[in-house]
Structure 1
Amino acid sequence: MNKALKKNTFRVLNGIFLAFLAALCLLPIIHIVAVSFSDQAAVSANQVGLLPKGFTFASYKMVAKRSAFWQAFGISVERVIIGVIINTVITVLMAYPLSKNEREFPARKIYVWLLIFVMIFDGGLVPNYILIKDLNLFDTIWALVLPAAVPIYNIILTMNFMKQLPGTIEEAAMVDGANYFQRFIKLIIPLSKPVIATVTLFSFLNHWNSWFDGKIYNNQTTNYPLQTYLQNLISNSDMTNAAEAIENALSNVKTLQAAQLALTLLPILLIYPFLQKYFVKGITVGAVKG
Structure 2
Amino acid sequence: MKEYKSKGRLVFNIINYIIIIFMMLSCLVPLIHILALSFSGASYTDSNMVTLIPKGFTLAAYKYVMQNSMFWRAFGVTITRLAVGVPLGLLLTILAAYPLSKEEQYFPARKIYMWLFMFVMIFNAGLVPTYLLIKDLKMMDTIWALVLPMGVNVFNIVLMMNFFRGIPREIEESALVDGAKQHTILWKLYLPLAKPSIATITLFTFMGHWNSWMDGRIYMNSTSNYPLQTYLQNVLQSSDQVLLNSNNMQSIIERMAVSGQNLRAAQLFISMIPLLIIYPFLQKYFTAGLVMGSVKG
- TM-score in terms of structure 2 length: 0.89
Distance 1:179 1:239 in 2: 64
- Change in 2 beyond 3 A, CA 1:66/1:105: same
* TM superposition shift of 1:14: 1.6
Structure 1 match to 2:113 = 111
Aligned pairs for 1:1-290 (under 5 A) are: 4-236=6-238, 243-244=245-246, 247=249, 250=256, 251-280=258-287
- Change in 2 beyond 3 A, CA 1:97/1:10: same
Distance 2:236 2:282 in 1: 31
Tell me the SS of whatever aligns to 1:278: coil
Distance 2:13 2:138 in 1: 56
Q: Which runs of 5+ in 1 are unaligned?
A: 283-290
- Change in 2 beyond 3 A, CA 1:238/1:55: closer
Verify the 8 A CA contact 2:41 2:56 in the aligned structure 1.
yes
Structure 2 match to 1:285 = none
Verify the 8 A CA contact 2:243 2:260 in the aligned structure 1.
no
Q: Could you give the per-residue CA deviations for residues 35-81 of structure 1, whole angstroms, max 9, x where no partner exists?
A: 10111121122111111112211110010000000000000000011
Q: Could you give the per-residue CA deviations for residues 66-122 of structure 1, whole angstroms, max 9, x where no partner exists?
A: 000000000000001100011000011111111111111111111111111101001
Give the letter aligned to residue 205 of structure 2.
S
Tell me the SS of whatever aligns to 1:279: coil
Q: Could you give the per-residue CA deviations for residues 130-169 of structure 1, whole angstroms, max 9, x where no partner exists?
A: 0011111111000000111101100000000110111111
Distance 2:288 2:243 in 1: 50
CA RMSD of aligned residues (A): 2.2
**Most deviating of 188-197 and 21-30:** 21-30
- Change in 2 beyond 3 A, CA 1:165/1:107: same
Q: State percent identity of aligned pairs.
A: 52
Distance 2:241 2:136 in 1: 31
**Most deviating of 11-20 and 159-168:** 11-20
Q: How many pairs were matched up?
A: 282
Verify the 8 A CA contact 2:101 2:162 in the aligned structure 1.
yes
Verify the 8 A CA contact 2:38 2:61 in the aligned structure 1.
yes
Q: Which has the higher helix share?
A: 1
Q: Could you give the per-residue CA deviations for residues 243-276 of structure 1, whole angstroms, max 9, x where no partner exists?
A: 4278596431100110000000001011111100
Verify the 8 A CA contact 2:73 2:224 in the aligned structure 1.
yes
Verify the 8 A CA contact 1:195 1:281 in the aligned structure 2.
no
> After the TM superposition, which parts of structure 1 deviate over 3 Å for at least 4 consecutive aligned residues?
2-5, 237-243, 245-250
Distance 1:254 1:205 in 2: 25
* TM superposition shift of 1:280: 4.1
Give the letter aligned to residue 152 of structure 2.
V
Distance 1:26 1:190 in 2: 35
